[in-house]
Amino acid sequence: MKIGISGASGKLGATIIAELSARTGHHQLVAISRSPEKLGKGMENRKGDYDQPDTLRDAYAGLDRLVLIPSADLRPGVRGAQLKTAIDVAVGAGVQHIFLLSAAGTREASTPAIGETYWTGEQHLIRVAPRWTILRMNYYSQSMIDEIMMSLVQGVLAGIGEDCVAYVSRNDVAAATAGAVAGEGHAGAIYNLTGPEALTGRDVAAIASDTLGKAIVFSSITEEQLRSGLSHAGLPDVVADAIVDIKKTFVEGHFDVLTHDVERLSGRAPAFFRDVLTATKS
């Protein structure tokens, strides 16, 4: 079986490839990137750019299965359109089963909401792919850790209300994806890849204080205060808007979903947030 992995140069794509390579099985891996020359040796590397459909036709030729990772382009409307193009080209190229990395809490949404990407991608996939599997990622532990590190100077972790999130390690998302892609019986399934517990903003601040030995508290501020703080920190508007949007979905409970899907698919228990933070610190 020939398996293509998009976003192969990225953190998630590279970890999925490492997880697939570690599994026994008669599969050949094809790493797909806009810059295949930058990918490692040891497997077939192909050029594929979501913005250049011709490159995707060559990239997806002869694949049995394809892992589609959305790009990290946060401009409203871009990623949904990219995913539709990639799905259409993959179906046209005869790919039998497409695995889409999506986000927890996906529901009907339109631009400029960040969730539009995942809604558009999921709906199009379900409509046109011969076989599909959707892997909805919870929020990465690593992304929250980045935020904690930026908050250490002021000692304040900001949210825009009470939230609850089942933070998942990116490595566990990769392991679960590899388990599904290399396995059978996952067609038509929507999985929720979560960590082992859901944490509030206060829980996260307490774990960070304890683990890092520095006082940090959770504080609820308004959307305007958060956006203005992010702009003052030098983040471009498109990134600040995306962060505010994500925080809104936190408060609305989109990431307050706990499942055993990571363990079912990967064969191992997902890491606790505290342990990912401890490992990052050391």
Ligand X SMILES: NC(=O)c1ccc[n+]([C@@H]2O[C@H](COP(=O)([O-])OP(=O)(O)OC[C@H]3O[C@@H](n4cnc5c(N)ncnc54)[C@H](OP(=O)(O)O)[C@@H]3O)[C@@H](O)[C@H]2O)c1
- Residues forming contacts to ligand X in the complex (CB under 6 A) are 6-7, 9-13, 33-35, 48-51, 69-73, 103, 137, 139-140, 143
Nearer to ligand X, 10 or 155 (CB): 10
Q: How many of the other CB atoms lie within 10 Å of CB of 144?
A: 20
CB of 63 to ligand X, least distance (A): 15
CB 47 within 8 A of CB 58: yes
Nearer to ligand X, 32 or 222 (CB): 32
CB of 16 to ligand X, least distance (A): 9
CA distance 133 to 100: 6
CB of 213 to ligand X, least distance (A): 26
Residue closest to ligand X, measured at CB:
10
Nearer to ligand X, 71 or 171 (CB): 71
CB of 13 to ligand X, least distance (A): 5
- Please confirm whether the linkage preceding 112 is cis (ω < 30° from 0): yes
| Whole-Å CA distances, 196 to 38, 209, 249, 267, 272 | 35, 20, 20, 14, 6
Q: How many of the other CB atoms lie within 10 Å of CB of 262?
A: 28
CB 221 within 8 A of CB 157: no
Nearer to ligand X, 140 or 218 (CB): 140
